[in-house]
Amino acid sequence: MIIAERKPMNEITGFIEGKAKILVVGCRGCVTVCNAGGAKEVEILASLLRLGAEKEGRGLHADELTLERQCDPEYVEELSQLMDGRYGAVLSMACPIGPQYLARRYPEARVFPALNTSFLGGALAHGVWSEFCQACGDCVIHLFGGFCPISRCAKSLLNGPCGGSEGGKCEVSKETDCVWQLIVDKITADGTLDAFMAMDLVKDWRTSRDGGPRRIVRQELLR
Ligand code: SF4
Ligand code: SF4
């Protein structure tokens, strides 16, 4: 999933400076799962902004709404009744796809991103997420025992470990598993080490470097 976190409050308050009425919009997708932009986080951010404004002796009306997904025109449409110019700012608590959809659908609205998107990843423990994929467009993890050296090796090494690993940890951070240790352990355990050693890997990077926004068209879903 997409892992994101809320922007610093001073950046967000800068977005809404001078605005009397704002809308904070959450998303029930990835950012809800990683506790960054779901209904709960929308409520917290709206409350913090109201309190901050109150402390400064000015009024702030902050409405809250959480869409099923902000990366889907069907759900973005649900805001159409509200987008009549009543809000000075719309804070999107989705990954950056959300604010881009909002900005396109509602050209007169001032839309701001309230989150920073960090990476594609998963949870390691409660409150801890790690990167698992850089969306290279040509997945090769089956060649590496099911692990991704592009995203999980600090040096994105494809041809073997750097030699700095110690106790199974990466030399760049002792808190991070050396993915090459994981790869070697796995291909030793599943009996594919010899095949791996004989492999001559050439990674096709064209899918991730085609010079523009990548696009997937699933013909069978087109009407
Ligand atoms: S090989 Fe590419 S698509 Fe597969 S996990 Fe790694 S970065 Fe993601
Ligand atoms: S220690 Fe392992 S994960 Fe870290 S940079 Fe070297 S090979 Fe990559």
Q: 144-178: per-residue pLDDT in tens?
A: 999 999 999 999 999 999 999 999 999 999 999 99
pLDDT (0 to 100) of residue 172: 94
Ligand 2 centroid from CA 116, angstroms: 26
pLDDT (0 to 100) of residue 209: 56
Number of folded domains in the chain?
2
Instruction: Please check whether residue 218 lies inside any domain of the structure.
Output: no
Instruction: Please check whether residue 55 lies inside any domain of the structure.
Output: yes
Give the CATH number, domain containing residue 43. 3.40.50.2300
Residues 14 and 88 in one domain: yes
Instruction: Identify the segments of the chain with pLDDT beneath 70.
Output: 208-212
pLDDT (0 to 100) of residue 221: 81
**Cα separation, 179 vs 83, whole angstroms:** 47
Is 59 close to ligand 2, i.e. is its CB under 6 Å away?
Answer: no
Residues 105 and 15 in one domain: yes
Mutate to test the pocket of ligand 1, among 131, 132, 133 (most ligand atoms within 8 A of CB): 133
Of 129, 111, 146, 105, which is closest to residue 31 (Cα–Cα)? Answer: 129
pLDDT (0 to 100) of residue 211: 65
**Cα separation, 193 vs 172, whole angstroms:** 26
Residues 49 and 100 in one domain: yes
Of 60, 110, 59, which is closest to residue 83 (Cα–Cα)? Answer: 110
Of 119, 113, 68, 116, which is closest to residue 90 (Cα–Cα)? Answer: 113
- Domain containing 66 equals 2-118
Instruction: Please check whether residue 216 lies inside any domain of the structure.
Output: no
Residues 92 and 153 in one domain: no
Ligand 1 centroid from CA 83, angstroms: 39
pLDDT (0 to 100) of residue 204: 78
Residues 157 and 106 in one domain: no
Determine contact, residues 33/1, Cβ cutoff 8 Å.
Answer: yes
pTM: 0.89
Ligand 1 centroid from CA 89, angstroms: 37
Residues 100 and 7 in one domain: yes
In the chain, helix, strand, coil percent, each to 5? 35, 20, 45
Residues 50 and 105 in one domain: yes
- Indicate the residue among 118, 143, 168 that finishes a domain: 118
